[in-house]
Amino acid sequence: MDAQDATMVADLDQLNRRIGDTVLADLSAELAITAGLHDRAGSFPFENFALLRKHGVIGLQAARDLAGDPLDLAQARRIVAAIARGEPSTALVLVMTWLISLQIARSPHWPKALRAHVLRDIAVNGALANALRVEPALGTPIRGGLPDTTARRVPGGWLLSGHKLYSTGIPALAWLAVWGRTDDAQPLAGYFLVPGNARGIRIVETWDQLGMRASGSHDAIFEDVFIPEEYAVDIRPPEAWEADRTPEQLAWMTVLLGAIYDAVARNARDWLVQFALTRQPSNLGAALSTLPRYQEAIGEIDALLYTNTALLDRSAAAEIGEISPVQCNFVKLTVTNNAIRVAEKALSLVGNPGLSRGNSLERHYRDALCGRVHSPQDDTVLIGAGKFAFGSFNQAVSS
């Protein structure tokens, strides 16, 4: 451990004390102030990440990994949930950085010096990072196929060319782990590390989606971007990528993405409670909260959110590998669909006021819908579970 890493170790306890419940509550409140403005404009919240850097949030996981004291998943979930309660797109960009940090820290394939360099940049400078995988023709790699993004060998390195979609955080990313293939007759596939300020990267501002509008998930075009030889950080035969996520990575992705959309649903729930407590129609002469219809609806919503809490708590506390990939996928499917049901239930109760852009409920609903698009999608989860069930049954019968 060098002097810089030793300093991180010395600062860890102080850093953890600073990111307590009070700080998280203050962060949520401050992020919420401009959440609606960024949603309307579809603008990237640079100031939010300056705030997270100020509190040491962005680099927390990378610092802990460098110090040999990894961040606890339950603590990570608590932080992400608080940030998502304020502004969920900000939380999504943070989660993408933490997930790629975890991959870098644990991968045996990354060159040691390069791994330490990127992790230190994230830890010390609060650099943002993400893996760019989705393409126009390929879609998401989880469904199979080779990418069109191609790395061509040149003296001293590679020239990378391609087109990536949904590059979350791209306006502010310092490091891009780009999914591509080599130009060999029998191509290798995997990740090529690209600095965010490399020449030849062009951002096309295509992100104009229904929800998570502040995530800056624009297209990224790579036009003969030069990277050094060692920046082909993890390239393998395509068939070696069939299971490219470790149980730890899958657990972190499941819990942290689930925490975001659960937080969105809780915002919708709280809006509805406040509305029902304060709205007093003249023909009723009392608040809507006195009606059994509203009481039953809030009860149903809280039951859905309790299910989310139980699943996320269990997943965050489990030992690595204790929850199977099929079960992780069930958690993702259930939590995100419960979040959508919560927001839909709230909208069905309040009618036009809930659809007004002057209120935040319609934004929470739009953001919740985005939970479905993260891999694995619902059909992949259920088909995979069905195949596993039939395979397990056949194996049991045969034995």
Residue 9 has what pLDDT?
54
pLDDT in tens, 75-90: 999 999 999 999 999 9
pLDDT in tens, 317-373: 999 889 999 999 999 999 999 999 999 999 999 989 989 999 999 999 999 999 999
Residue 144 has what pLDDT?
62
Q: Where does the chain hold its CATH 1.10.540.10 domain(s)?
A: 3-127
In the CATH scheme, what is the homologous superfamily, with its name and number, of domain 3-127?
Answer: Acyl-CoA dehydrogenase/oxidase, N-terminal domain (1.10.540.10)
Residue 370 has what pLDDT?
97
Q: What CATH number was assigned to the domain covering residues 132-241?
A: 2.40.110.10
Q: Where does the chain hold its CATH 2.40.110.10 domain(s)?
A: 132-241
Residue 68 has what pLDDT?
85
Residue 69 has pLDDT above 90, yes or no: no
Confidence of residue 246 (pLDDT cuts 50, 70, 90): confident
**Are 165 and 236 contacting, i.e. CB atoms less than 8 angstroms apart?**
no
Residue 239 has what pLDDT?
85
SS (H, E, C) the chain: CCHHHHHHHHHHHHHHHHCCHHHHHHHHHHHHHCHHHHHHHCCCCHHHHHHHHHCCCCCHHHHHHHCCCCCCHHHHHHHHHHHHHHCHHHHHHHHHHHHHHHHHHHCCCCCHHHHHHHHHHHHHHCCEEEEECCECCCECHHHCCCCCCEEEEECCEEEEEEEEEEECCCCCEEEEEEEEEECCCCCCEEEEEEECCCCCEEEECCCCCCCCCCCCCEEEEEEEEEEEHHHCCEEECHHHHCCCCCHHHHHHHHHHHHHHHHHHHHHHHHHHHHHHHHCCCCCCCCCHHHCHHHHHHHHHHHHHHHHHHHHHHHHHHCCCCCCCHHHHHHHHHHHHHHHHHHHHHHHHHHCHHHHCCCCCHHHHHHHHHHHHHCCCCHHHHHHHHHHHHHHHHHHHHHC
Q: Where does the chain hold its CATH 1.20.140.10 domain(s)?
A: 247-391
Residue 138 has what pLDDT?
77
Residue 92 has what pLDDT?
98
pLDDT in tens, 188-236: 999 999 999 999 999 999 999 999 999 999 999 999 999 999 999 999 9
Q: Average per-residue pLDDT in the chain? A: 92
pLDDT in tens, 21-33: 888 999 999 999 9
Where is pLDDT greater, at 92 or 358? Answer: 92
Confidence of residue 45 (pLDDT cuts 50, 70, 90): very high
Residue 20 has what pLDDT?
80
Residue 391 has what pLDDT?
86
Q: Does domain 247-391 sit in CATH 3.90.190.20? A: no
